[in-house]
Amino acid sequence: MCGSEVPASGCDVASEVREAKETHDDGFWMRRALEEAEAAFAEGEVPVGAVVVSGEGIIGQGHNRTEKTGRPFEHAELVALNDAVGGRDRWVLTESRLYVTIEPCVMCVGALLLARVPCVVFGAREPKTGACESVFALQNEPKLDHHMIVIGGVEADRCKELMQRFFESKRGGFGK
């Protein structure tokens, strides 16, 4: 796992498995992302939430806002990345990790690679658009300049249940 500490050089393959520091482990941060996903649900958005963590704290957070803004690129990951770089002098996030409740899509993986995020942790897989494991594994593409470690399945049941609950509410209970 990427654990709770990321060295200045980023998350490298040799240090994939780390001990979590105190209670601030992957599950802790994923639960913060789930809080963002719940906020999206309350706003009628597809309930995906994300947090960007650096050191011992959240430097960016967000949830889906595509319905609210009418913009297809207002995914939770991009909202959180924008929040993370908002007050900084640099757009490079080499000392951070992104936690997101659902496996990122191609657009979001591209943004994560461009922002040099070294480690992404997601909750539930996305079998139709997932670009980390399910459909593609873009973070491993040898032709790209940058790569990242991806860890999936953290709090997966809770993340999946929230998505199911959302879509069941939209169908009015049909199609169960």
Strands 96-102 and 149-151 come out as unpaired
Give CA–CA dist 61/30, Å, rounded.
12
CA distances to 34, 60, 110, 117 from 114, rounded to whole Å, are: 25, 16, 6, 8
Q: Choose among 98, 124, 131: nearest CA to 112.
A: 98
The DSSP letter of residue 59 is: E
Give the C-alpha separation, 142 to 95, whole Å: 22
Retrieve residue 111's tokens.
Answer: 């943004």
What's the rounded Cα separation, in Å, for the pair 68 and 62?
13
Active-site pick, 45, 74, 77, 126:
77
77 noted as active-site residue: yes
Strand, coil or helix: 6: coil
| Dist CA 61 CA 133 (whole Å) | 23
Q: Among all residues, which ones are annotated catalytic?
A: 77
